[in-house]
Amino acid sequence: MVAESPNRQQVIDWLAQVPDPEIPVLSITDLGIVRDVAVDEAVTVSLAPTYSGCPATEAIETTVVETLKRRGIDEVKIRRVLAPPWTTDWISDEGRDKLRTYGIAPPEKGAGKAALLHGERSIARSIACPRCGSIDTTLVSEFGSTACKASYRCEACREPFEYFKCI
């Protein structure tokens, strides 16, 4: 366990090992939901849910508390941050690469805000296949295995894949 109080970066490094329960190839830091860490008498972790109804929010918060307690931190507080709302633009470049390698097409940077601000339907974009890179892809369903993903099929390699929708 930790002999002395950890520093902020140490806590962030530990949080980088906490997987997202819906897409375990991503950590919660890859996803960009860790908004802040404060270390004083307690460790306070500020988390932004990906959307208000995300079923993984409570599981993530519980896992963060358990992870830090296993590291010897007795006093852990979770602060749920709703504003500004999370956007797919907060997914790290490393996280986008991990998604692609895992077989999920990552959202384009900047597309989430553009879709929200300008009313564009990001789902209508040409989505590159994470396996072969072709943009000759077809939307199969606007909903994939989770609400934040859509199902696609690549017409070039004929493989199905999911696309992480822009938010």
Per-residue pLDDT of 59-101, as tens digits, reads 999 999 999 999 999 999 999 999 999 999 999 999 999 999 9
Angstrom distance (rounded) from CA 100 to CA 162: 10
Q: Are 86 and 34 in contact (CB under 8 A)?
A: no
Among the candidates 18, 51, 80, a domain finishes at: 80
Instruction: Give 148's pLDDT tier (boundaries 50, 70, 90).
Output: confident
- Same domain for 106 and 65: no
pTM of the shown model: 0.84
Tokens read off for 3: 């002999």
- Three-state DSSP state, 165: coil
Q: Residue 135's pLDDT band (boundaries 50, 70, 90)?
A: very high
In terms of domains, do 74 and 19 share one?
yes
Name the strand (E) or helix (H) holding 143.
none
User: Considering the domain boundaries, does residue 149 fall inside one?
Assistant: yes
Q: Both 68 and 125 in a single domain?
A: no
99 and 146 belong to one structural domain: yes
Percent of the chain whose predicted confidence (pLDDT) is above 90: 75
Is 2 domain-assigned?
Answer: no
The number of distinct structural domains making up the chain is 2
Task: State which of 49, 80, 111 marks the end of a domain.
Answer: 80
Q: Which domain holds residue 24?
A: 8-80
Domain boundary among 80, 110, 132: 80
